[in-house]
Amino acid sequence: MTETKSSSAGSAEVWITGIGLATSLGEGLDANWNALNERRVNVDEKTFAPYIVHPLAPVNFEAQIPKKGDQRQMEAWQRIGTYAAGLALDSAGVKGDKEILGRMDMIVAAGGGERDIAVDMAILNADARGNSAPSFLNERLMNDLRPTLFLAQLSNLLAGNIAIVHGVSGTSRTFMGEEAAGVDAARIALARIAAGQSDIALVGGSQNGERKDLLVLYEFGDFNLKGKFAPVWARSGNGGFALGSAGVFLVIESKAHAQARGAKPYARLTNVVADLAQRKQPGAITKSLEALWSQLGRLNDNAGLITGTTGVEPVTSEEKAFLSQHQGCAVRATGTMFGHTMETQFPLGLALAALSISRGALFPPNDPTGLEVEMSGPPTQIVVMGTGHWQGEGMALVEAIS
Amino acid sequence: MTAPRDKFGRPIVVVTGMGVVTSLGAGKADNWAKLTAGESGIRTVTRFPIDGLKTTMAGTVDFVNVEPSSSTGLTERLADIATEEALEQSGIGRKGDFPGPLFLAVAPVEVEWPQRLEAGRAVGKQEFDYDDLLRISGGGKFTKFHHRFMFGSVAGHLAETFGTKGSPISLSTACASGATAIQLGVEAIRRGEADAALCVATDGSVNPEAMVRFSLLSALSTQNDPPQAASKPFSKNRDGFVMAEGAGALVLESYEAAMARGAPILGVVAGCGELTDSFHRTRSSPDGKPIIGCVRKTLADAGMTSEQIDHINAHGTATPENDKMEYLAISTVFGERANRIPVSSNKSMVGHTISAAGAVEAIFSLLTLEHQRIPPTINYDVPDPAIPFDVVANKARDARVTAVMSNSFGFGGQNASLILTREPV
């Protein structure tokens, strides 16, 4: 399958001017940066044992979602995302700027469907006891579901909540489809700005990984990491991902728009490319990644590479095969430190790339296998990579602004 | 020869293939015949028990069956049917090799009750908790459930089947999703990224929990008897929308590419616009500003004035709130013409196909342009005096139609509009 055409066809240069991070390592840029440099990992091996999750570090939701009523209308994944979106707007210096927010694009990469576990279990248990009268399911759902739960489940209601809480109200699009949704959200937002269809956009996603219903869904496909935590590259024989909780949003805008309002960039978003390999053939993923690499633009020998590698096999081995062809790159796998945040993993990679460039250093390796190596000197180019646990591949190039 | 461009210098985007499935039937011919005859596709639900439900009717597509049964499976099959029809008409590419990207409007996907119950029964205990369920979920017995209930599963299937290029985009903007899928295709062609785009919108999600969810929000009509009379857009006694299933598929191409290969040109997507309402999760801002802004942005995108629009294919859900707000918006932008321009709601007959509605109604708008005949709004017996639209009441109307505005407004403040024309403007 041929790849999606590069989204940098337009002429406008696009800058990343805002970053919002709420993750298992902490809230805000400094907390995450410090944790990365201390090689800290926050995993919970007990609550969902034998499954492992990276729980959200404590955050004060009121700081970004002041109305209790708004918080009550959301489930955790929406609160995390709305919170991170607020951080990104703060970081870009556009929070509360009605004129800009009123024409800001928003593309959210969303999952959804957070369940009411108690309601589900009551129905499943009644069914197990043979109570399967035709009306039973209907009656339980009519009586037991909270009316507002639906709105907390709907994928596009993360965007809806961001609009309500923060006033981002130009355009609003919600992309779905696991990891690829995060790639495509960035790809389309960049393409629109580069082509002059838009000036500024809020892009990102969120996941609450501390959900049994989500664990069940991925357990159906045997994707969950079980037993003992290990870094992503050290999971051979015990492949799988540990779900992570995170909200990540970026503000990206045209250079001209940023300069006109005196905004400081973290980095340039040069290119985002994506593909859907037909994975039935072995090697298809490696080939797809190689093709995407060739479309990114001119790359230095010593670029950094931040990947959302899941730890799932055989996908991870195919990624390793690709990386073995590019040994000059200093690789970092976000899955080790943040867990797998699904739709949010690619925006997370973009955020960490921009943050690294702005801080003048790639964060240190966290990998006992030696695949990740130290990087000397400040990074000028960081490739962000995302390979879906069952479909979808993407890559981006984030660069220093010279 | 210079490439045909619109007045803003962008490639003109035309439609060269369309396919549609609704509760009225499969295909444009069947749907158009029944739509213009004022037939309703709404019926009492027979797919699952309706005991204990407040709303017992819907526009289900009962003539398509998928095994094993699931809403996502039906959603996928409806998309297949609509896409096959669109590609056949368009004649673009080769079988399994569509030369452009896929934009798919699809309802959010989640594990459904039949499958959840199947997994629960596999626990083999009369009393169990979620951890028990987790323990039996792995090991390969339910791998198919993972694949079926991934958000990207329908798009992945369509991309593989029809050979669309690149990363397919699955999107949801609630009731505006179908319009957003078209908008994404238009934008890609205007950027010059693609000469063609496949825009599909599909929804097969009439199941007990989906009906209960909308019911608990008091969004659905409860006028169950007779079901055909339940959907009453713009009527004083309207009481909610009727859930429905369906799919629409459109092949969009640059005018230049379509002419070069001698493709049938069915119409032009002259403009699209969207504007978010940040007022409330399910209600429109009382001043209607976001909807008004959406309609104005769409006109501006097309480079047209409201005088050039001669028919409105309304969102017209038949909820008390929507129809009132839609009149407020249209009357604000169109002035006194709001009461003279023919307005109709396809939802009176096919119900609200939710994620598919924007595309299904865009196709019906293009058929209106082709046949110069406006489908009626049925069940319009008690006009709401607060909504003095010129509703195409109960019988189809022949009219000179050169430009149609099709509106979609959804939960979460999602507003999107399209302008469709017969010829480039």
What single DSSP character describes residue B228?
G
Say how far apart CA B352 and CA A362 lie, in whole Å. 51
Residue A128 lies in a domain: no
* Whether residue B315 lies in the annotated active site: yes
The tens digit of pLDDT for each residue in B235-280 reads 999 999 999 999 999 999 999 999 999 999 999 999 999 999 999 9
Say how far apart CA B410 and CA B276 lie, in whole Å. 10
Residue B39 has pLDDT above 70, yes or no: yes
When CB atoms are compared, the residue of B137, B188, B276 closest to A219 is B137
Task: Give which of A6, A52, A156 to mutate to test B binding, by max B Cβ within 10 Å.
Answer: A156
Residue A137 lies in a domain: no
Burial class (CB in 10 A: 0-12, 13-18, 19+), B225: exposed
Q: What is the mean pLDDT of residues B178-183?
A: 98
Task: Compute the nearest-CA separation of A56 from chain B (Å).
Answer: 21
Residue B3 has pLDDT above 90, yes or no: no
**Cβ contact A151–B282 (<8 Å):** yes
The pLDDT value recorded for residue B97 is 98
Residue A210 lies in a domain: yes
The tens digit of pLDDT for each residue in A91-124 reads 999 999 999 999 999 999 999 989 999 999 999 9
How many domains are there within chain A? 1
Please name which of A186, A3, A33, A20 lies closest in space to residue A94, comparing C-alpha atoms. A20
The tens digit of pLDDT for each residue in B187-210 reads 999 999 999 999 999 999 999 999
The chain-wide mean pLDDT, for chain A, equals 95
Residue B183 has pLDDT above 80, yes or no: yes
Residue A2 has pLDDT above 80, yes or no: no
Q: Which two tokens stand for residue B190?
A: 């205007």
Q: Which residue matches tokens 């389309």? A: A188
Say how far apart CA A215 and CA A242 lie, in whole Å. 9
Share of chain B above pLDDT 90, in %: 98
Residues in chain A: 402
Domain CATH number, residue A56: 3.40.47.10
The tens digit of pLDDT for each residue in B310-319 reads 999 999 999 9
Task: Compute the nearest-CA separation of A262 from chain B (Å).
Answer: 26
Please name which of A241, A199, A171, A173 lies closest in space to residue A92, comparing C-alpha atoms. A199
Nearest CA in chain A to B416: A171
Q: What is the mean pLDDT of residues B372-386?
A: 98
- Pinpoint the alpha helices (H) of B306-417: 320-334, 347-350, 357-371
Residue A75 lies in a domain: yes
The pLDDT value recorded for residue A10 is 56
Residue A300 has pLDDT above 90, yes or no: no
**pLDDT band, residue A301 (cuts 50/70/90):** confident
- Pinpoint the alpha helices (H) of A154-230: 157-166, 179-194, 212-220
Range of the domain at A255: 14-113+154-399
Task: Give which of B111, B121, B154, B212 to mutate to test A binding, by max A Cβ within 10 Å.
Answer: B212
Q: Which two tokens stand for residue A26?
A: 């902490």
Say how far apart CA A284 and CA B374 lie, in whole Å. 50
Q: Which two tokens stand for residue B274?
A: 């969207």
**Biggest alpha carbon–alpha carbon distance for chain A:** 69
**pLDDT band, residue B295 (cuts 50/70/90):** very high
The tens digit of pLDDT for each residue in B122-150 reads 999 999 999 999 999 999 999 999 999 99
Residue A134 lies in a domain: no
Spell out the residues 6+ positions from residue B273 whose beta carbon is closer than 8 angstroms to its own. Answer: B294, B295, B296, B297, B298, B299, B300, B301, B416, B417
Q: Which two tokens stand for residue A175?
A: 């992309």
Residue B101 has pLDDT above 90, yes or no: yes
When CB atoms are compared, the residue of B143, B169, B413 closest to A221 is B143
Say how far apart CA B187 and CA B197 lie, in whole Å. 10
Share of chain A above pLDDT 70, in %: 98
The tens digit of pLDDT for each residue in A199-216 reads 999 999 999 999 999 999
What single DSSP character describes residue A340?
B
The tens digit of pLDDT for each residue in A151-200 reads 999 999 999 999 999 999 999 999 999 999 999 999 999 999 999 999 99
* Whether residue B175 lies in the annotated active site: yes
Say how far apart CA A254 and CA A268 lie, in whole Å. 10
The tens digit of pLDDT for each residue in A218-247 reads 999 999 999 999 999 999 889 999 999 999
The pLDDT value recorded for residue A3 is 44
The tens digit of pLDDT for each residue in A310-365 reads 999 999 999 999 999 999 999 999 999 999 999 999 999 999 999 999 999 999 99
Please name which of A221, A109, A289 lies closest in space to residue B150, comparing C-alpha atoms. A221
Say how far apart CA A343 and CA A326 lie, in whole Å. 26
Residue A141 lies in a domain: no
Beta bridge partners of A393: A275, A387
Cβ-contact A14, A271 below 8 angstroms: no
Q: What is the mean pLDDT of residues A271-278?
A: 98
**Cβ contact B169–A177 (<8 Å):** yes
**Cβ contact B216–A172 (<8 Å):** no
From residue B73, alpha-carbon distances to A66, B70, B110 in Å are 41, 5, 12
The pLDDT value recorded for residue B2 is 55
All domains of chain B in start order, with CATH: 13-112+149-421 (3.40.47.10), 113-148 (no CATH)
Task: Compute the nearest-CA separation of A164 from chain B (Å).
Answer: 4
Residue A392 lies in a domain: yes
Cβ-contact B385, B236 below 8 angstroms: yes
Q: Which two tokens stand for residue B370?
A: 């082709």
Residue A256 has pLDDT above 50, yes or no: yes
- Pinpoint the alpha helices (H) of B55-152: 71-90, 113-123, 130-137, 143-148
What's the one-letter identity of residue B373? Answer: R
Residue A7 lies in a domain: no
